[in-house]
Structure 1
Amino acid sequence: MLTPFEVIFANIAQGIALLDSDLRVLVVNNRLSQLLQIPELTMGMDAKAIAEQMPAHTQARLWLTHLVTEQKSLQQEIEVGNGLLSLTSTPVSEGHWLIQCKDISAHAAIKKELSEQTNLFDTTLANMPHGLCMFDADKNLMLCNAAYSRLYSLPEQLTRPGTPLQQILDHRVTVGNAPAHRETYFDVVAEAALKRAVASQNISLMDGRVIKISHSPMENGGYVAAHEDVTDAVRADEQIKYMAGHDPLTGLPNRTLLREKIDRELAVSGKTSSLLCLDLDRFKEVNDSLGHAVGDLLLKAVADRLTDCLRDGDSIARLGGDEFVIFQTDVQSRDQASSLAQRIIDVVDKAFIIDGKSVRIGVSIGISMAPDDGDMGDSLLRHADTALYKAKAMGRGTFCFFETVMDADRQARRDLETVLQQALESNQFELYYQPQVDTITEQVVGFEALLRWHHPERGLVSPVEFIPLAEETGMIVPIGEWVLRQACKDAASWPADIGVAVNLSPLQFKSQTLAHTVVSALGDAGLPASRLELEITESVLLTDNDTALATLHHIRSLGVRIAMDDFGTGYSSLSYLRLFPFDKIKIDQSFIRELGNSKDCAAIVKAVVDLGASLGITTTAEGVETSDQLNRVREQGCSEIQGYLFGKPLPISSVHELLKRHSPEAA
């Protein structure tokens, strides 16, 4: 019967042998024979015979030589078949050797996999385009990649593990690339820790660069941070925002930016203000006789003179053409506004020397006062414009204050309000359709539905007159639903590859039934959702942003396309592209009109087209009226065009004939 020791010795996972001083086997277990794949490994066998039968001959010779010549331990790794063995030879008393062998294949595989993963991690880290760093809870560096070191010009000793972050920041102060505002530098770290999620912020550096830092907290109190140089993107974003809010010719703020400032000022100050609406007299004659180049130079010179007339805090904007607006804050009396108006008239009346020529023009001015004539930018502009027409009627070269008696259209608006409901109920509305054309093939790809009103007495009423009223009264919601349903019904009779675009009002989003209305209109008409495109302006997203976005996502999930209309005219158009995956951007016609005259407009159009291409968004150029404009938008890469060059808005009866003319077969 075996002793406990013999049982253990026979069944142990390690192979074991004891050699005497003559290197002959005194004791050996079967496991060693199995591991070394030597069947006759028995007591009495000498080391030389064992070495000759070992699979790894080089390691075997080294093993035998060591036993003969050395009296110290030897540890070897030997490949046997597909496995890997650890063979340890240890000298013991009386010249004997203890031989131990174990299978380390699994351990070696894990070690190899870890090594490969480490190499892959190191390679990835070294080749990342952005800087990456990891700091512990005490803000000591754990690791960083080469991009992080290059980003901040760090010497090698500051990239070693254990380097305090403070030392890195001190070095960056020395080389001039430290954060411009050190006191808020760690705000994002605290934010990430509180949120227990990634938090990002753009950090301005002393050298002018902007770095986006994204912090991800770790459970031990440390964090991982990615550092990306976003200077070019931020500058481009700022430039596009600036261009969207400023007149490309004079550099003055445009209507949108001015209106925002007026509304903001009136909401805060509560003081009397004046708004002066200016229109240049005889400018058209100068433009026609001396050319647009001289006209542009004249407008710039006028802008300079007007700016020189202002106090600190006053604002000026160019609305387009030869129209300017000046907003005066904290006006003590109408006399103060009168004084500015007369000063402007006198200054503009003096001769301009443009391109070596003496040019004389004049200016007429309409003035509205806040809060008497309105407490919002739109109402002040409208009333000042009304007064301007009166000033022009008085003989030009003068100014006129708004008076209630001038507002004769108010009664007409009230009349329109009364009959709007009747118009809807008695089918006085009609849809006209303006073609949207592929820029390359010039084939019609869709139509935009545009509302017209056939008044029984006044005839065809312009949408400019009744749409704002419908917005104010809330009638735009039922009218908008009628437009949507009728457009879907009409489009269902067109070829399957022709879509229809319908404009949506911000008020329709507040009705909370818009998505249901869209589904119902498509179902009733039998129109596939992919053929319907809904156009919105950024005003839809200005209020109750989350609700509007949720509605848009719901509608888009149905397969309906969503387009951003009048892109570039609003202050935040670019930011909304990050909030919602629009299918189309419609570039406002104000940029298209100036393509041949303004490098800035061309730059804006190009930037928008490139942005659309990078995001997979179709771009449509609105207001294309000439072959020159068509060629320019083609050069810029616009996907589609819309404008009088390819067709004015048409009644449904004319749409089918247009489709026949522009069909591939006709071509």
Structure 2
Amino acid sequence: METAADIGNTLGDEERRLAALADLAILDTAPEADFDELAALAADILGMPQAALSLVDKDRQWFKAKVALPFEQTYRDIAFCSHTVALREPLIVRDASADARFSDNPLVTADGGIRFYAGAPLFHSNGQCVGSLCVLDSRPRDDFDEDKLRILEGLARLASRLMATRGERRKGEIAAKVVEATSEAVVAADREGRIVLVNRAAEDLFGHSSQQALGKSIELLMPDRFRNGHQKKIDNAAAGGPTRLLNTLVELPIKTADGRELPTELSLAPWGDNGSEGGFAAIFRDITSRKLLETDRQETRNFLDAILENLPAMLFVKEARTGRYVVVNKRAAEIMGYAEEDILGRTDSELFGPVGRDYEKRDAEAILSERPFAYESEHTRADGETFNIRTTRVPMDGPDHPRQFVIGIAEDMTDFRRSEAKNYWLARYDGLTGLLNRGSLSSLLSDYVSEGDPFAILSIDLDRFKAVNEQFGHPAGDAALKVVGDRLQELVGRECVVSRAGSDEFVILLRGPRLNDRATTLAYNVVERMAEPIKTRGKVAHIGASVGIALYPQDGETTEKLRENVDLALYRAKKDGRDKVCLFDSQMDAAVRDRRMLEGDLRAAVANGDIKLAYQPVVASSTTDVTGFEALARWKHPTRGHISPEVFISLAEDCGLIEELGALLLDQACNAAVKWPEHLCVAVNLSPLQFRSGKLIQTIQSALNRSGLAPERLQLEVTERLVIEDTDETVTQLKELRAQGIHILIDDFGVGHSSLSYFQVLPFDKVKIDKSFIHEIETSRSANAIVEAVIGIGRQLSMGIVAEGVETEKQRNLLTRLGCSHLQGYYFSAAMPPEEVPAFIADMQAPPVRLASTVA
């Protein structure tokens, strides 16, 4: 283990000298009479107008005492005394202006500057030269002889002793005050073991006043079991002999005035000389409270150290004046790229060179700031890794003076900045293909339009892409999209802008001459390139592309109009059979635009509840009593008048409105039927698409619950297309609905791919014969035969048979005679608004006659 001497030997001469100066604790202290009188005495005895007791610090010369000097201190590099310190012997300069060492010195060249100087060194007790006692004059002097030099040297030795005495006296005064003010119990005893000093803390601890304790044996404080042989140990310790108690901490119980034993910690030291004057002094500490406090402090320290070390942010503390690091945590060391021990005690300039000076400049700004000073910069570690660091610096008061330290907490913003850059990229580009995204495309289109130069826009939609996702999965679909993006970028090079505008939609913007020809050629190249097989994830996908083209400004002078018209061109290309190219044509695309306008009106109508139901009665053929009504959707457009259900229902299916519209019509039908007599049913038509979402059963149950209509009064009409498209899924849902008591009807039977196997898979409650057969039943033998066959099947399967489109008495009589159970058509009534239904029921029926369940 290194000793103090070993450590001192490792220091340089200058460092040892500065350490000796610091030991005197005299720099920057207030004037003291002893030193002032000594400086005045030197000037008076030696006949000099100026004198000073000068102490040479690292970078300055400071005067503890001075006579007729106009300044408190000077820079060291111009100080005459600095030469005296370096020589460690007296220095006499008889004419400074003629001395090459000092002739250019500002202390010499100034008005009234120094011409004569004589200085004798001041030494610390350890032999280090710390300054000089000097006399000065503003004129050259040749009369400073050997006698005066000896006087100056003698006064310098006196000054050195005065500084040493001052230090010892200061330490003694401090010690006396500390002993009296300390919370530690201090007891001193002479060689005979008689107590000669008890401080206030000892009085409180032991319960004996100083009057009671002074002059008494130290045994007053000892438990009986420790008294034997204690005097010999005391004599040995007081004489400086070896003892395990000297300058160590030992746990020792003491006896209090009330007889209790109190566990303490004892520290023992000799005092006085080796003669009769002397003894020992002991410091007693109540170990009980101290141990508790130490434990608490240690836990707190450990907790704070753990927080400091594991803090994810960088934390450091620097000494404000020197800029040297005094605390760094683990994260700070990691980011700086140095070990913690290599950072402490060094400055940023020493660690990081020119960059470090920027850090020190920010420290200075933080010290002057009234608020936390935040700054973000880029830091490159020695290994080349770069960090974005946001540092908040705050000045912190210390034990010596305000704003003694700068504390900094730095956040590693690297990931945040990378994420920010990535987010910026993602905001502009498609994350899958790397092409411009829809937002960037919109901005670019706006820029193109505002610039006014002609350009072409090509809208590309992939054909059969949905099949890739369904057949190979979405990962394969994503891989295919990447290939598509790469192919498009290869086709256009740097000549065009390519964007992914949607899931499988891409857009190309083309500028320059001959736009029509170049755009068309490029479009056909796209179609040809997209038709090539795509190998992805071990599979081969076959897709294609349809392309619509619009030109600015002839096909639209705004971005909205251009997008609308290129979409119309694309729609026509897909409608014409896919893998096609179509340029926008205002006349050819008018029908598409009209359909889109109608789609917008339909959305508004559904949202506003403008689609209403009309009710056509269904009657029992044997009695002509009304058994229910079929709910038929009606839409009266504000400008186009009545729109055919075949048009708007198909449109709702195409644009994804059928579920919302179907739910709306179900609610209307149930709310109307619940007001009718309880034996009447309502029949609602369902689209096959309503079965695909999986929400149909819940929608129907919600409508029944809200209206209070019994399930047995609801009939659902489905077409053969539903069963053909998805038999298994449809049958499952239909069976669940029938299990709830809802009746299922198959509508328009016979006009499609009718198959008797439908009845084997799902026995319907009723079959509706299409009106086309009813219109020809009187004139066509085949129509008559088909109707008779369907009625026969219905009887065999206990199903009701409803004939639609009955318009004449003959049709009614014939259908009744053939055994048709229910009739519907204009012969009985056209569809009517809900408010007319009650009056119609009253006109048509006497008191209701309930029919058998097989035909209800």
Q: TM-score, normalised by structure 2?
A: 0.39
Structure 1 or 2, whichever has the larger Rg, is 2
Q: TM-score, normalised by structure 1?
A: 0.47
